[in-house]
């Protein structure tokens, strides 16, 4: 008898991080950001330690699918062009992340620009009602895209929180994670929100995508300084129902959104997928205790010396450190970790007054147990929703269960906004 093969647990790569990346891309098929066959074919022959081959596979797939899109657009096939541009943007986004392991950043900016160009071509051919909105932010602007809820015959919108007569619609503000693309946010929540009659706003915040790669703008831990100007730019618009504005935070935005909610109270509801209380935990869990003791004792020179020695022996770990530390805008190993340690909710979570849904996937690999901790820190407003391996919904952000995630998140969000809707109609 042949041995049983478990396709869900066996995965798609012998490298854990690559396996997770492939799962994340495949999960996008739900909302059109991937085609399963072309993804699996593209990575089928890439060896686990072949970093250049990994980059080349995704970059070539992006080029090929972008070429399909360009040809379809030239022939007047806008629907086909839009579908291919969207997939190409997703594949280029993986190539952007893959640059981190190449040892040189020379390909970063040109690859990112291919990604954003494909995204913009998708926006232009999608048939969706999309408006560019640049948010004023500390002497510059944050680039954003406002997707307007589609209108149904007779002037009404689709179901969900957007049901009812035409007029100002509910708005979902989508906050990305540490290295996610706008295409990732389309899959995470924007597509599902539009289907339910929400307007959706996606944008690059400080340290994210164009703000980092084009302008060198770093992250900030006090995310209320970001979310508040975003809301200022949107809530007074005549097409937005200011009483029904919600926010969705993906991955590391599971920290940023609750942090902002502790100070910004205009939102009617919020979702984090998952909850993140202490960002630094994903950095320090695998570090030797003796090394962390140097940091705790303030021996920064010794910490930097030992880190430098250790990373010289592991080029892969050094590349990961360089990629993850760049958005924090700080030089030095100890200084970077101290900057990351500021990203902690424990002192502010009790101030949150906004109803908050917190996802908790089985097997969360980056911030295990932190969704549950966030709910304990804000028990009066926070609700936990679990996802399990038995449902095919394990791992960070449930990569292969985005339809299930969408259903649970938006059913909760529709109900959270429903009392506001009822009150408005009286």
Mind listing the pLDDT tens digit of every residue in the chain (426 residues)?
557 778 788 889 999 999 999 999 999 999 999 999 999 999 999 998 899 999 999 999 999 999 999 999 999 999 999 999 999 999 999 999 999 999 789 999 999 999 999 999 999 999 999 999 999 999 999 999 999 998 754 444 445 666 545 679 999 999 999 999 999 999 999 999 999 999 999 999 999 999 999 999 999 999 999 999 999 999 999 999 999 999 999 999 999 999 999 999 999 999 999 999 999 999 999 899 999 999 999 999 999 999 999 998 888 788 889 989 999 999 999 999 999 999 999 999 999 999 999 999 999 999 999 999 999 999 999 999 999 999 999 999 999 999 999 999 999 999 999 865 544 444
What phi, psi does 133 have (nearest 5°)?
A: -130, 115
The pTM of the full predicted model, rounded to 2 decimals, is 0.94
Catalogue all structural domains in the chain, each as residue range(s) with its CATH number: 14-121 (1.20.1440), 128-279+343-425 (3.40.50.1820), 282-341 (no CATH)
Residue 170 Cα distances to 178, 205, 309, 322, 420, angstroms: 26, 22, 53, 40, 10
């Amino acid at each position: 008898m042949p041995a049983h093969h478990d396709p869900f647990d066996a995965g798609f790569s012998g490298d854990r991080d690559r396996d997770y990346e492939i799962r994340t891309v495949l999960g996008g098929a739900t909302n059109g950001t991937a085609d399963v066959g072309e993804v699996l074919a593209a990575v089928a022959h890439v060896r686990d330690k072949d970093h250049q081959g990994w980059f080349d596979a995704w970059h070539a797939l992006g080029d090929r699918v972008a070429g399909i899109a360009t040809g379809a657009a030239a022939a007047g096939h806008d629907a086909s062009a839009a579908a291919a541009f969207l997939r190409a943007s997703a594949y280029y986004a993986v190539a952007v992340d893959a640059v981190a392991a190449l040892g040189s950043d020379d390909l970063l900016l040109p690859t990112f620009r291919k990604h954003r160009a494909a995204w913009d071509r998708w926006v232009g051919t999608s048939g969706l009602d999309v408006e560019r909105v640049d948010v004023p932010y500390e002497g510059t602007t944050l680039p954003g895209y406002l997707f307007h809820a589609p209108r149904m015959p007779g002037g009404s919108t689709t179901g969900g929180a957007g049901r009812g007569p035409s007029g100002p619609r509910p708005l979902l503000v989508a906050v990305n994670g540490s290295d996610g693309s706008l295409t990732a946010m389309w899959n995470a929540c924007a597509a599902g929100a539009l289907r339910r009659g929400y307007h959706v706003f996606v944008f690059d915040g400080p340290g994210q995508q164009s703000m980092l790669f084009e302008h060198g703008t770093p992250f900030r831990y006090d995310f209320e300084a970001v979310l508040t100007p975003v809301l200022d730019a949107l809530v007074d618009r005549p097409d937005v129902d200011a009483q029904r504005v919600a926010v969705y935070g993906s991955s590391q935005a599971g920290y940023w959104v609750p942090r902002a909610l502790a100070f910004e109270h205009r939102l009617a509801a919020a979702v984090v997928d998952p909850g993140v209380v202490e960002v630094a935990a994903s950095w320090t869990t695998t570090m030797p205790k003796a090394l962390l003791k140097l940091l705790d004792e303030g021996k920064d020179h010794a910490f930097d010396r030992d880190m430098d020695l250790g990373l010289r022996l592991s080029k892969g770990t050094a590349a990961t450190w360089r990629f993850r530390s760049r958005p924090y805008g700080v030089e030095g190993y100890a200084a970077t970790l101290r900057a990351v340690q500021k990203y902690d909710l424990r002192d502010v979570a009790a101030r949150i007054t906004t109803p908050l849904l917190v996802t908790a996937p089985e097997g969360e690999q980056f911030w295990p147990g932190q969704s549950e901790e966030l709910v304990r820190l804000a028990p009066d407003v926070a609700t936990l929703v679990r996802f399990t391996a038995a449902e095919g919904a394990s791992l960070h952000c449930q990569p292969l269960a985005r339809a299930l995630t969408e259903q649970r998140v938006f059913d909760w969000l529709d109900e959270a906004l429903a009392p506001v809707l009822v009150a408005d109609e009286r």
